[in-house]
Homo-oligomer: A and B are copies of this chain.
Amino acid sequence: MADDPGPFARSTAVHRRDGSGDAGRYDSTIVDGWDIGGNANGGYLLAIVARAMAHHLGRPDPVTVTAHYLAPGQPGDARVDVTTVRRGRRFSTARADMVADRTLLSALGTFGDLEPTGPGDVTRVDATPPGLPPPGNCEAMDDREGFPPSFMDRVDLRLHPDDAGFSRGEPSGMPRVRGWFRFPGEEPVDTVGLLCVLDAFPPTVFNAALPVAWVPTIEFTAHVRARPAPGWLRCEFTTRFVTGGFLEEDGVVWDADGRVVAQSRQLALVPRQV
Copies per complex of this chain: 2
Shortest distance between the CB of A88 and any CB in chain B (Å): 8
Looking across the interface, which residue of chain B has its beta carbon closest to that of A126? B240
In the bound complex, how far is the Cα of B262 from the Cα of A244, in angstroms?
A: 11
Q: Given A70-B93, A85-B70, A243–B125 Cβ distance below 8 Å?
A: yes
- Whether A108 pairs with B68 at a CB distance below 8 angstroms is yes
Chain B residues within an 8 Å CB radius of A243: 117, 121, 123, 125, 225-226, 259-260
Within 8 A of B (CB), among A225-272: 225-226, 239-246, 248, 259-260, 263, 265, 267, 270, 272
A47: shortest Cβ distance to chain B, in Å?
A: 18
Q: Quick one: which of A1-16 are within 8 Å of B by CB? A: none
**What bracket does the count of chain A residues touching chain B fall in?**
35 or more
Cα distance A64–B125 in the bound complex, in angstroms: 27
Chain B residue numbers with a CB within 8 Å of A41 are none
Report A's interface with B, CB cutoff 8 A. Answer: 63-64, 66, 68, 70, 85-86, 88, 91, 93, 95, 97, 103, 106-110, 114, 117-118, 120-127, 175, 208, 210-212, 218-219, 221, 223, 225-226, 239-246, 248, 259-260, 263, 265, 267, 270, 272-274
